Structure 1
Amino acid sequence: MNLLLVKLLACLVFGVIVVFTLYTLYSFSNKENGFSRDIKRGIVEQIAVKESKHDGYYLAGMCDSGIFIANYYLSEEIQRMNFGLEVVDSFKVHVSDSIKIAWKAVKIFVEYPDVYLVEGIEPSIITCRLPNLDCFSINYSAPKFESAVPVSKSSIVMRKYSTRVNRNILAKKNAFESSTYENESLLSIQGGGNFSIDGMLRYDNGSNELAYIYYYRNEYLCLDTNLNLVRIGKTIDTIRNAQIAIDTIKGENRVTFTKPPKFVNKLSCVSDGYLYINSALKGDNESKSVFLDNSVVDVYSLAEGKYVLSFYLPNYKGHGLRDFKVHNKILTGFFGNYLIEYGLSF
């Protein structure tokens, strides 16, 4: 009798262990990112859709005067649309043959009526004004850079490689000053070397602040236009350290990824004191199918450095979000070759 009781107890304990183990594995697999989103439904209304005939279009600017788009393959052309996505003007930039510019690397920024053509290979900073677009080159004497945003008619902020510290830093160049101001302490390096500080540089002319959003960790920086740190913000996920594996290719003195890095923040924009981030990570309270069928956007207050809410942008004809901007709670984004406009209410 005692032997039977022992066997029954052993079976019971074994059963409890199996159930606990399965529950733990289930919980872990469904909560791998360790955070939840406050998804707000009913705050996004689709207004208009327009299909572009060519690849390579991106959003160059948004303001009260309309939506400006440019094309990586047609670098001299700019189109202005109204807020119904109807083309109302087409412009062609007139650049003198005497100005050196790497056209394939050009990124156009429109801060109406000013237009900036920026590329970091030559490098070239060219400015003009709508509607005539007769350009002149600003003599920045700038070092080569990877990305840059204009913060005034004569100043740009850039991410560039510093040979002094052997990594990327943020710097500011004024056209009327001979030197470049460099801040080597803003971007904090982690495992993965220089790759760990890759990110997106954004400027909000409404709040006159810059934001730098890391690709591979749950962190962003708010800066003034003199590159002073205003605050450090955290995104709602839990990836504190960049998950990057790299190796050096022998004989080429080149570093490469040994496996794809884990993205945290894919796309971003800033507008009217808000930071909008298209996140790469699913929240624990989201189903996998819904997450894959939508592009999720998390909204943060730049002034407070706090999370506000999240919303979904549904994939359109099999395409997810690849570029977007917001102005006065109007969000415009490219999904493949489709440009879609939404109204936001929050």
Structure 2
Amino acid sequence: MKNQVPHQRIILECITLSFVLLYVYAAMSKLLDFENFKVQLGQSPLLSAHAAWIVYAVPITEFLIAGFLIIPRLRTTALKASMALMTMFTAYIFIVLHYSSFVPCSCGGILEKMSWNVHLVFNIVLMILAAAAILLDEKLKENESFKESYRKVLIWIPAIIVAGTAVVSFLFVSSERLMHYENPFIRRYPRHAAVLRSQLDLKYNSYYFAGRSEGRIYLGNSTAPLQLLSIDENLKNKKIDRIKSAPKDILFQRAMVSVQDKYFYLKDGTVPAVFRGSAADWIITNKFSGLPYFDQAEPIDSIRMVLRSNKGEDLANILGLFDNEKTRKIKYNPQLLQKQVDGIFDTDGKLLYDNNTKKISYVYFYRNEFITADNHAELIQRGNTIDTTTRAKVKVSYLENHTVRKMSAPPYVVNANAAVCRNLLFIHSKIKGKYQDEKVWSQSFVIDVYDLNKQTYLLSFPIYNIRDQKLKTFLVTKDCLYAVIGSTLVLYDLKPIIKKEIKDAH
């Protein structure tokens, strides 16, 4: 027995020294690359919402345990703390691999070379070593047999494992709730949520998305409003179509085209005029009569449109429903858009309609808000984007005896553009979030994804820059995202992490 004691003490000292070196190394690597560590923790699928304090707590805890391990009278406490910490790290990796919405990048340092599964095994081995060290420490301290020491630690080790696992599980559940429903402006970037498949040079930067019908994407051209470019969903088989029978007596100024189902709509709110025809022959066959002036309009069906006009109080923006077959053709809903400053610039935004869910969406440009309405223009709900700009930051000057309004300073743009696909809302955000990777932010356009049914933020992904060109507009289908960046049309494949969230209307 006496001959074994030095042997056991050497083993205990080796395990203790190994933990000291591991903790010092791990804590130092985090501090030396603190900004990267903070970004990685902020992107964690488990701890994002708690990253503000965990980013400091982890290296401090590692340093403290390392210090306690080398103080003999504190070693027992430090070994139990080591067991608890390794249990939490192990539980973290297990939940990431089996229960989180995505698997993030690995930790820094030499551990970055490990896969998540190898890292899990590595942590389990460290847990076993910590348990062995606790057992040896108890035995040597009391000079008892292994059997007697084992009885004493039999309660401690399971209790530590249960407590450590419970802490990580609680942090995971609370973080998920905060991230989805009360997001503190932290974006999540699952790897390869959307992957670039192909791109096409359009030659000109005047194209916009007119719509999608029967497997083809249609692009209008603001400089040639009667001409449309269509292309299949793989960016092949280009075709040029031209709208026929356009009235010669109408002076179009801002003509735009929408394509929905088998119809096309030629719209110009400055006239105002809307014409409809079949996409089979591109011949105008119907005219919407009695239209008010409008600046945005989206077809709901062959006879109805949702539009934005300046018919509100003090000429403020207002949304309304136009029915071409009713006697009273336009019905406004003044409750949809909410004035903060002047009712025009502060309520500016993007009007959208999804034909599958039969819902209208409106995303404000200058505040963190969007609304959803049914196809009768009745409010369903109001939602918020994850940034913190609750009030539009616009400065308005009134000229010519208060009859003309102009922006007196550049506005603070929050949401630059948006698209809707069934229950998912895709927003091009212009505001940098917490723990944002500087490289991703500077080299891409960030798309935030929201679930309109659940009123939750889901995730974000980048659309990468093409030279110095701007993201003008984008369109989303169940499988792909199409974007016009300057004069280039790009196609991104949406991966299962996004596609599984897309729900058809009930």
Q: Give the TM-score of the pair, scaled to structure 1.
A: 0.86
Tell me if the contact between 2:215 and 2:233 (Cα under 8 Å) persists in the aligned partners: no
| Alignment partner of 1:185 out of 332, 335, 340 | 335
User: For 1:120, which of 269, 275, 283 is the aligned residue?
Assistant: 269
For structure 1, the 5+ residue unaligned runs are 1-30
CA contact (8 A) 2:312 2:334 kept: no
* Match in the other structure for 1:313: 463
Give the equivalent residue in structure 2 for 1:278.
428
Q: Relative contact order: is structure 1 or structure 2 higher (C-alpha 8 Å, sep ≥ 6)?
A: 1
Determine if the alignment matches structure 1 residue 78 to structure 2 residue 242. Answer: no
Amino acid across the alignment from 1:84: N
Contact 1:314 1:320 in 2 (8 A): no
> Which letter maps to 1:132?
D
SS in 2 for 1:138: strand
| d(CA) in 1 for partners of 2:375, 2:441 | 36
Structure 2 distance, partners of 1:307, 1:168, is 27
Cα separation, 2, equivalents of 1:252 and 1:190: 18
Post-superposition shift, 1:88? 3.7
**Does residue 37 of structure 1 match 2:187?**
yes
SS at match of 1:37: coil
**Counterpart secondary structure, 1:261:** coil
Return the alpha-carbon distance in structure 1 between the equivalents of residues 245 and 251 of structure 2.
9
Q: Structure 2 CA distance, aligned partners of 1:163 and 1:273?
A: 29
Q: Deviations over 1:65-122 (max 9, x none)?
A: 21111100111111221122123432110024356351x3111111132111111011
Contact 2:196 2:491 in 1 (8 A): yes
CA contact (8 A) 1:62 1:326 kept: no
Residue 136 of structure 1: SS of its match in structure 2? Answer: strand
Question: What is the distance in 1 between the residues matched to 2:264 and 2:374?
Answer: 22
One-letter amino acid matched to 1:112: D
Q: How does 1:1-346 map to 2 (within 5 A)?
A: 35-97=185-247, 100=250, 102=252, 104-162=253-311, 164=313, 166-179=315-328, 180-250=330-400, 253-345=403-495, 346=497
Q: Which of 335-344 and 85-94 deviates more?
A: 85-94
Mapped partners of 1:58, 1:294: distance in 2: 20
Q: Answer whether contact 1:101 1:124 (CA < 8 A) is retained.
A: no
Structure with more of its chain in strand, by fraction: 1
CA distance in 1, matches of 2:195, 2:447: 14
Q: How far did residue 289 of structure 1 move?
A: 4.0
CA distance in 1, matches of 2:249, 2:373: 32
Cα separation, 2, equivalents of 1:190 and 1:211: 19
Shift in Å, 1:189: 0.3
Aligned to 2:46: none
Question: How far apart are 1:192 and its partner, in Å?
Answer: 4.2
CA shift for structure 1 position 253: 3.1
Whole-angstrom CA distance in 1 between matches of 2:400 and 2:326:
41
**Within 2, Cα distance between the matches of 1:233 and 1:99?**
44
The AA in structure 1 aligned to 2:440 is V
Amino acid at match of 1:189: K
Mapped partners of 1:332, 1:121: distance in 2: 29
Which amino acid is 2:259 matched to?
V
Task: Name the CA distance, whole Å, in 1 between partners of 2:477 and 2:283.
Answer: 27
Task: Identify which range, 183-192 or 159-168, moves more after superposition.
Answer: 159-168
Q: How far 1:209 moved relative to its partner?
A: 0.5
- TM-score scaled by length of structure 2: 0.60
Query: Which amino acid counterpart does residue 475 of structure 2 have in structure 1?
Result: K
Post-superposition offset of 1:303: 1.2
* CA distance in 2 between partners of 1:300 and 1:68 (Å): 25
Q: Which structure carries more helix by proportion?
A: 2
Cα 1:88–1:213 shift into 2, 3 Å = same
- Give % identity: 26
Larger radius of gyration: 2
Q: Deviations over 1:290-331 (max 9, x none)?
A: 312100000011112211110011101222321100111210
Q: Counterparts of 1:235 and 1:97 in 2: how far apart (Å)?
A: 42
| Distance 1:132-1:99 versus aligned 2 partners, 3 A rule | farther
Q: Is the 8 A contact 1:101 1:123 kept in 2?
A: no
